[in-house]
Amino acid sequence: MISNEHIINIDKPMDWTSFDVVRKVRYTTRIKKVGHAGTLDPFATGVLIVLTGKNTKRQNEFMDMPKTYDAEILLGNQTDTGDRTGAVVETAPVPELSEAMILEALSEFKGEIQQIPPMYSAKKVDGQKLYKLARKGKVVERKPSMITIYDIELKSWTSDQINICVKCGRGTYIRVLAEDIAQKLGTLAHVKELKRTAIGDYRIEDALSIPEFIEKWKSSAA
C-alpha cells in the first residue's frame, strides 16, 4: 500500500519535467508534501525517486546515492542545450573510429574529474538559474565542479554514434560528459537519448509508470 510517508520509484516519461511528476503525484494522492530526489531533464526518461511526507527530509540521502544512466551520444553536431532538443550550434567531421580508440577515450573519464556545468541547467550562479540566463542568450562564467565517474561501459557504437552506460556520483551532467568524450575523439556531440536506470538500489525494472502509479494508488486507497 502507498502511504502518506512513502518513497516512490517512478519511471519519468519523456517530455515531462521532474516537477510535472511531483505535481501529478500530489494531485493524485492529495498529499501536500511531495518532492523528488534528483532532477531529470525533460527529454530524459527513467528512475525518479518521489518522496512524500517526512521522507522529503531524506532528499540529500537519495541524491548522494550513485546513479546509472544509459546514454546514446550522436557525434558530429553540438547543440546549445547539449541534447537533441537544442539548436545545432556547431558541426565537425567525425574521425574514423575504432573500439580501442573509444575505450581509451572513455577510460580518461573514470574516477574523480572536473566538470563545468552547462548553461542549460538548474544550477545557480549569483542567485540566478543558468537556464534562465541561457534562454536570454547570456553566457556566464561557471566554476568547475569535482564529480565522480565510477564506471563507463561501451555498449555499442557505429560510425557516428556511441552508446554508453555510466555509473556516477552527484552533480554529474551526462550532456557535458558526452561533449567532453567527443572532444577526446576529435569531434563534437550531443546526447540523443538518456535514461536513468538506477539510483542506488532503486532500479528501472521496479519503477512505476505514471498510469501504473495512479492505478496502484487508487487500488490501495479503495
Residues with catalytic annotation? 41
| Residue in 109, 112, 133 with CA at minimum distance from that of residue 123 | 133
Instruction: Name, in order, each residue with C-beta under 8 angstroms of 44's C-beta and a sequence gap of 6 or more.
Output: 12, 14, 194, 195, 196
